[in-house]
């Protein structure tokens, strides 16, 4: 089984990216041939600061390694180190109906927010299809918001295969139900663009402040809360607390007499503790940036070995060679 996923270097790692994609991806490194990349080409559609792109790209690599990606098991690389992605993206663009892209929610959401779209933003799912197809990937671990993009990938793979003969493996998204949509502090999907994120490697005080500002409903402390599992803070607690702590907190809320302030304090303690080892590893990596660069360099070489073969297969299939 070949596994592939990507993450944009467009901000600081937050609990949505971590639980939605990074953690499941790290777990999957034990189960197949895993390829994970930093989608720096994709970040160009929204981030226009070159210095920040370099910084965020390195940060994603550091964070991924700190969280447990093992470069002996998984290939970690930077998308733009494998320029074949862009060539394949052109081949796929030419079999991609405009309507397919016009229907994409993430594009429509950005339009609705008043963002004036560039061509890169419109063509974003085509490059994403190339990212996936160029590794003959079977499984793509993503959060719910990327599901439609993986469906576009399947459509384009089938279309190309129909037109030019069997060329691509048709991949499937792998979305873990429990982390499909990690809520932010306002209860909506956690996302940098909604300014509702909780960082993974932020300052202790800042993380505490974010957690204490999670929006709760207005029911008083004594009131029983039979829907405790749906509470924003409880949903995040589930990921960072041990089973007993999680269950005891849910039960206490259900029974009534346990305030939301307690829940948030508990959440902060568990959250901070949950990332203690990763924080330590991250400090070590920050003192050894040559190692991080080397992982990316070697990753790019391994990735390119595969990408160049699939790209050539596509070039031959459609008559470029
Ligand atoms: P990006 O960088 O926006 O997010 C990285 C991953 O994190 C997931 N995610 C979430 N999951 C659950 N709850 C949340 N609140 C949450 N926020 C983010 C996203 O679903 C994603 O899996 N287009 C991709 C990057 C990409 C890619 C690819 C992914 C480029 N090429 C090829 C897979 C395969 C993106 O922008 O992810």
Q: What is the pLDDT of residues 46-74, one digit of tens each?
A: 999 999 999 999 999 999 999 999 999 99
Q: d(Cα 140, Cα 171) in Å, to the nearest integer?
A: 7
My answer on whether 24 and 117 are in the same domain is: yes
Q: Region 40-51: what's the mean pLDDT?
A: 96
| pLDDT confidence of residue 176 | 86
Shared domain check, 237 and 103: no
Q: How far is the CA of 145 from the centre of ligand 1 (A)?
A: 7
pLDDT of residue 178: 84
CATH number of the domain residue 309 falls in: 3.40.50.620
Taking only the tens place, the pLDDT of each residue in 168-197 is 999 998 998 888 899 999 999 999 988 999
Q: What angle do CA 11, 106, 173 make, to 5 degrees?
A: 90
Measured from the CA of 137, which atom of ligand 1 is nearest?
34
Going by alpha carbons, the residue nearest to atom 37 of ligand 1 is: 7
Q: Do 228 and 147 fall within a single domain?
A: no
What average pLDDT does the chain have?
96
What's 219's domain CATH number? 1.10.240.10
Cβ 142 under 6 angstroms from ligand 1: yes
Q: Residue 284 falls within a domain, yes or no?
A: no
138 with 265, same domain?
no
Q: Which of 2, 79, 146, 303 to mutate to test the pocket of ligand 1 (most atoms within 8 A of CB)?
A: 146
Would you say 3 and 131 are in contact if contact means Cβ atoms under 8 Å apart? no
Distance, in Å, from the CA atom of 211 to the CA atom of 220, rounded to the nearest integer, reads 19
Q: What is the pLDDT of residue 74?
A: 98
- Please check whether residue 40 lies inside any domain of the structure: yes
Same-domain status, 106 and 209: no
Our measurement of the distance from residue 253's CA atom to the centroid of its chain's CA atoms, rounded to an integer in Å, reads: 31
Q: pLDDT tens digits for 241-276?
A: 999 999 999 999 999 999 999 999 999 999 999 999
Ligand 1 centroid–CA 276 distance in Å is: 24
In this prediction, residue 225 carries a pLDDT of 95
Whose alpha carbon is nearest atom 31 of ligand 1? Answer: 128
Mean of the pLDDT values across residues 1-6?
96
The whole-number pLDDT of residue 285 equals 98
**Substitution candidate for ligand 1 out of 2, 5, 6 with most atoms within 8 A of CB:** 6
Residue 104 has pLDDT above 90, yes or no: yes
pLDDT tens string 287-317: 999 999 999 999 999 999 999 999 999 999 9
Q: Residue 190: inside a domain, yes or no? A: no
pLDDT for position 193: 85
Q: Which of 73, 147, 159, 192 is catalytic?
A: 192
pLDDT for res 249: 97
Annotation marks residue 209 as catalytic: no
Looking at the fold, whether 131 and 237 belong to one and the same domain comes out as no
Q: What is the pLDDT of residues 139-155, one digit of tens each?
A: 999 999 999 999 999 99
Check if the interface score ipTM surpasses 0.95: yes
Specify whether 225 is located in the same domain as 156: no
Average pLDDT for 156-160:
98
What is residue 317's three-state secondary structure? helix
In a domain, residue 191? The reply is: no
Does any domain span residue 188? Answer: no
DSSP 21: I
Given this model, what pLDDT does residue 180 score?
A: 87
User: Is 192 a catalytic site residue?
Assistant: yes
Quick one: what percent of the chain has pLDDT higher than 70?
100
**Do 93 and 129 have their domain in common?**
yes
- Is 106 domain-assigned? yes
Q: Are residue 152 and residue 293 in the same domain, yes or no?
A: yes
pLDDT at 89 over 90: yes
Would the CB of 186 count as within 6 Å of ligand 1?
A: no
User: Ligand 1: distance of its center to the CA of 30 in Å?
Assistant: 21
Query: Is there a single domain that holds both residue 53 and residue 155?
Result: yes
Our answer on whether the CB atom of 21 is closer than 6 Å to any ligand 1 atom is: yes
- Flag whether 132 is in a domain: yes
Q: How far apart are CA 115 and CA 97, in angstroms?
A: 23
Residue 194 lies in a domain: no
Mutate to test the pocket of ligand 1, among 44, 64, 145 (most ligand atoms within 8 A of CB): 145
Give SS3 for 29. coil
DSSP code string of 233-287:
HHHHHHHHS-HHHHHHHHHHHHHS---HHHHHHHHHHHHHHHTHHHHHHHHHHHT
**213, 247: one domain:** yes
Q: How far is the CA of 16 from the centre of ligand 1 (A)?
A: 9
Structural contact between residues 205 and 259, judged by C-beta atoms closer than 8 angstroms: no
Same domain, 34 and 66: yes
Q: How many domains are there within the chain?
A: 2
How far from the centroid of its chain's Cα atoms is residue 158's Cα? 25
88, 138, 81, 282 alpha-carbon torsion, rounded to 10°:
150
Overall average pLDDT of the 195-201 stretch = 97
CA distance 133 to 316: 15
Contact 13 CB / ligand 1 (< 6 Å): no
Residue-range definition of the domain harbouring residue 134: 2-182+289-317
């Amino acid at each position: 089984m070949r596994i592939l996923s990507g993450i944009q270097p467009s901000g600081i790692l937050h609990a949505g990216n971590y639980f939605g994609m990074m953690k499941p991806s790290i777990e999957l490194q034990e189960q197949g041939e895993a390829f994970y990349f930093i989608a720096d080409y994709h970040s160009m559609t929204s981030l226009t600061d070159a210095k920040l792109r370099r910084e965020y790209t390195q940060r994603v690599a550091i964070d991924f390694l700190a969280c447990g990606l093992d470069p002996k098991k998984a290939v970690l690389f930077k998308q733009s180190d494998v320029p074949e992605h862009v060539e394949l993206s052109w081949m796929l663009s030419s079999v991609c109906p405009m309507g397919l892209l016009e229907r994409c929610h993430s594009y429509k959401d950005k339009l609705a927010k008043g963002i004036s779209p560039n061509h890169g933003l419109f063509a974003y799912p085509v490059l994403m299809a190339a990212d996936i197809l160029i590794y003959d990937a079977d499984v793509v671990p993503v959060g719910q918001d990327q599901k439609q993009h993986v469906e576009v990938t399947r459509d384009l793979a089938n279309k190309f295969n129909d037109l030019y003969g069997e060329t691509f493996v048709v991949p499937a998204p792998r979305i873990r139900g429990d982390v499909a949509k990690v809520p932010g502090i306002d209860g909506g999907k956690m996302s940098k663009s909604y300014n509702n994120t909780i960082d993974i490697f932020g300052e202790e005080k800042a993380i505490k402040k974010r957690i204490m500002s999670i929006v709760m409903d207005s029911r008083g402390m004594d009131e029983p809360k039979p829907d405790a599992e749906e509470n924003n803070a409880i949903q995040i607690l589930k990921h960072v607390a041990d089973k007993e702590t999680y269950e005891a907190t849910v039960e206490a809320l259900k029974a009534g007499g346990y305030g939301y302030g307690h829940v948030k304090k508990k959440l902060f303690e568990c959250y901070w503790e949950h990332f203690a080892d990763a924080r330590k590893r991250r400090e070590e990596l920050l003192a050894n940036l040559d190692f991080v660069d080397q992982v990316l360099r070697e990753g790019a070489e391994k990735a390119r070995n595969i990408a160049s073969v699939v790209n050539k297969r596509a070039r031959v299939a459609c008559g470029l060679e």
